[in-house]
Structure 1
Amino acid sequence: MTPFSLKNPRLLQVDLSGQSILARAGSMVAYDGQIKFDKAIIGNEGVFGALKRKATGEGMALMTTSGKGTVYFAQNGAEILIIPLQNEKIWVESSVLLAFDKDLKTNTVFAGLRGASSGQGLSTTTVEGIGNIAIISHGTALELEVSPSYP
């Protein structure tokens, strides 16, 4: 699992020692070390996943960040929440994804009419596996416990 930490509530610090992460394109604000940035054309869900994202409008412009060193990410002064996943799945809007471990699997899923009526759209993004995910919020995020019987 790649070490994610907060330098402050609005600045994500990622310490890379040879591993790769995916991050929102344009969110890198500084780095130190031998870091490489590449456009992630299809993310980590393959060509079918990229086509599904395009069709549903649940798109993410991502970059692969790899190498050895420290990278800092931020997005328009938004607050950042780091969520460690341990073989778990989280549902998030692609617009709030800041960065996540490259080994995590993403997917676009049908959110139902509830999503459309709330203005979020018919689709949402799932992220699952073992690794860290950093999301952004405009204000402090509300964390809620969920279970299979109360998703």
Structure 2
Amino acid sequence: MSLFSIFNVAGSGMAAQSTRLNTVASNLANADSVASTPEAAYRSRQPLFAAVQKQLGSQAVDNGQGVQVLGVTESQAAIPSRYEPGNPLANADGYVFSSNVNPVDELVNMISASRSYQNNVEVMNSTRQLMQKTLDLGK
């Protein structure tokens, strides 16, 4: 692996973790939202990642090695309901349906994503310093 491909790997990891942080922020923003039907309730979202590895002699992958965001999926966990007959969004039986976001899980995801992002930044900085020191040897 060349030093330049390290930048591609770390950069794709940073982009993936940025997507993860954005979905965590969206989930936390909608954690307390309610709806009148289970179908309309906000569902927790999670990004799907895939490792991309270019094989020798292969031109199938343009970005080389790294992480690719395949998309964002919605949780299929049950939607909790609460009895709130005074709520304007309550259905005919007096129930509202809240999101299935678990704020504790989302905070753990946020800490993990920010640490992964920070690690990728450190990899890029270490690689840049290594390249700079290699160039200084030629002086």
Q: Does TM-score exceed 0.5, indicating one fold?
A: no
TM-score by length of 2: 0.20
The higher radius of gyration belongs to: 2
Higher strand share: 1
Task: Using CA pairs under 8 Å that are at least 6 residues apart, name the structure with larger relative contact order, 1 or 2.
Answer: 2
TM-score by length of 1: 0.19
Higher helix share: 2
